[in-house]
Amino acid sequence: MTFDYDLFVIGAGSGGLAASKRAASYGAKVAIAEYDLVGGTCVIRGCIPKKLMVYGSHFPALFTEASGYGWKVGNTELDWEHFITSIDQEVRRLSQLHISLLEKAGVELIPGRAAFIDPHTVELDGRKITADKILIAVGGRPVKPDLPGMEYGITSNEIFHLKQQPKHIVILGAGYIGTEFACIMRGLGSEVTQICRGNNILKGFDEDIAKEIEEGMTNHGIRLIKNHVVKVIERVPQGFKLTLSGENQESVIADVFLVATGRAPNVDGLSLENAGVNIVPSSVERPGYYTTGAIAVNEYSQTSQPNIFAVGDVTDRINLTPVAIGEGRAFADSEFGNSRRAFNYQNVPTAVFSTPEASTVGWTEAEAREKLGDAVKIYRSRFRPMYHSLTGKIEKTMMKLVVDNNTDKVLGAHMVGEHAAEIIQGVAIAVNMGATKKDFDATVGIHPSVAEEFVTMR
């Protein structure tokens, strides 16, 4: 059978872009469909604009800290419109850059939303397109609890386009997205209240990381309400009134509320049933909160239909941009490069761009103790960085190594503090190579630096 393309990719985000360009480099005839700006969540409404907001949120602290070093800084004021517009312009520049890279790679970009007709055919704006292999890389989307008044809330999609800076923003959710935006908005000068369903923020991260970030957030003036959920939201003259669970908990009123209670694979509208592609069943966590099923894949990103594959957040494995890129390239190498391989999910480093910042690689202490019991040894250091010896601020850095006492192998490295992501990136190489604590000890530290603590802990 003759097909229009060797590979048709649905979704021009991180995974789809990486896979399409790599496949084209092997000589495949490739097309990619995208109904939005090219670049996906990371470029358009995720990593890039968020990190730019993080940078912007740090300036007020820098202004005040400068006085400890003798600098006199006058009155400062944020031009919100300039801030948001500049971020949007950079996003659009990067989107255009990705389009030019597709053209250079010989990948055809087809604007529009694609849906399956059968395992080898998709329809896009009335046009039927056939392909030998099809890759689904449509990513994820924010979801809101099914509760009264949630339609008034914004998500991480809309927060980058607010016309005015919120005076008081309430954030529902205490995962990394909710926590990062709580810190961003507080740094920019907004009053922030964060509502957490459980007893701790950042579920799944090392407990010491969550504890240190929470303490830092509280010290910076963020109000954290734990063990409560929103029951109903009402519009009131001052903005929105959020009624919480619990008899003794007062309602919260804010002019904006952000819903950051989770994301779901963006499978709606793909007509997967026409192609025989299976998804993982949905589940209900508690009333109003649910998990939408992801596309089921094997270790080679292959779905239940042998010629259809899926990578990135739509598969809900590890939802990180570098992982989606790695999965996309592994797929292309396997199917078009005569080099069959699976992506390695071990020791994937990640960061939380909160204030204070955190980063981690490998096992948490809890994971290590669950698997190895008393054979786990913890090395931990907590101190005030030298930078703050003149600022007068009470800011702490925490660094931690999780070690297998039987083999001396470093199983995990965790850090909370300035430049944590930059530091852990290098440490991740050592962890991934199987370095031991003795290897860390034998490494000469760079003095004076924060990073040297990772090789001086005893």
pLDDT for res 217: 98
For domain 5-141+264-336, give its CATH number from 3.40.30.10, 1.20.140.10, 3.40.50.300, 3.50.50.60: 3.50.50.60
Please state, in angstroms and rounded to a whole number, the distance separating the CA atoms of residues 243 and 241: 6
Q: Do the domains 5-141+264-336 and 150-261 sit in the same CATH topology, yes or no?
A: yes
pLDDT confidence band for 248 (50 / 70 / 90):
confident
CATH of the structural domain 356-455, one choice from 3.40.50.1010, 3.40.50.1820, 3.30.390.30, 3.30.1490.110:
3.30.390.30
d(CA 242, CA 101): 46
Q: How far is CA 44 from the centre of its chain?
A: 13
Helix and strand counts by DSSP (H, E) for the chain: 10, 23
Residue 290 pLDDT = 54
Q: What percent of the chain has pLDDT over 90?
A: 95
What does the alpha-carbon distance between residue 228 and residue 373 come to, in Å, rounded to a whole number? 33
Give the whole-angstrom CA distance, residue 252 versus residue 124: 45
Residue 112 has pLDDT above 80, yes or no: yes
**Residue range 260-289: average pLDDT?**
84
What mean pLDDT comes out for the span 226-242? 94
pLDDT reported for residue 292: 67
* Helical ranges in 302-415 per DSSP H: 321-336, 365-372
Do the Cβ atoms of 139 and 315 come closer than 8 Å?
A: no
Report which of residues 219 and 249 the model is more confident about.
Answer: 219
pLDDT band at 288 (very low <50, low <70, confident <90, very high): low
CA distance 157 to 141: 8
Residues 6+ away with beta carbon under 8 Å from 193: 168, 169, 170, 171, 222, 223, 224, 225, 252, 254
pLDDT, average across residues 386-393: 96
Residue 246's pLDDT band (boundaries 50, 70, 90)? confident
- pLDDT score recorded for residue 167: 98
Q: Is the peptide bond before 448 cis (omega within 30 degrees of 0)?
A: yes
Confidence band (pLDDT; 50, 70, 90) for 55?
A: very high
Q: Give the DSSP letter of residue 16.
A: H
Q: What percent of the chain has pLDDT over 70?
A: 97
The predicted model gives 56-82 an average pLDDT of 97
Residue 289 has pLDDT above 80, yes or no: no
Whether the Cβ atoms of residue 338 and residue 166 lie closer than 8 Å to each other? no
Q: How far apart are CA 300 and CA 317, in angstroms?
A: 13
Rounded mean pLDDT, 218-229:
95
**The CATH number, out of the four listed (3.50.50.60, 3.10.520.10, 3.30.465.10, 2.60.40.10), of the domain defined by the range 150-261:** 3.50.50.60
Summarize the confidence of residues 154-172 as an average pLDDT: 97
The backbone region for 189, taken as left when phi is positive above 0, alpha when psi lies in -120 to 50, beta otherwise, is: left
C-beta neighbour count of 225 within 10 angstroms? 17
Of the candidates 402, 334, 343, the residue with the CA atom closest to the CA atom of residue 368: 402
Q: What is the mean pLDDT of the chain?
A: 96
pLDDT of residue 286: 53
- pLDDT for position 291: 60
Handedness of CA 40, 135, 311, 125 (dihedral sign): positive
The 10s digit of each residue's pLDDT in 169-187 is 999 999 999 999 999 999 9
Active-site residue list? 447
Q: What is the pTM of this model?
A: 0.95
Domain ranges of the chain: 5-141+264-336, 150-261, 356-455
Lowest-confidence region among 160-164, 221-225, 281-285: 281-285
Mean pLDDT to the nearest integer, 143-170: 96
* C-alpha of 143 from chain center: 15
CA distance 22 to 20: 6
Residues 6+ apart with CB under 8 A from 213: 179, 201, 202, 352, 354, 356, 358, 416
- Which tens digits make up the pLDDT trace of 405-425? 999 999 999 999 999 999 999
Segment 296-305 mean pLDDT: 97
H or E stretch at 181: helix 176-187
Is 288:229 a contact under the CB 8 Å cutoff? yes
Quick one: pLDDT at residue 293?
83
Q: What is the DSSP-derived secondary structure letter of residue 293?
A: P
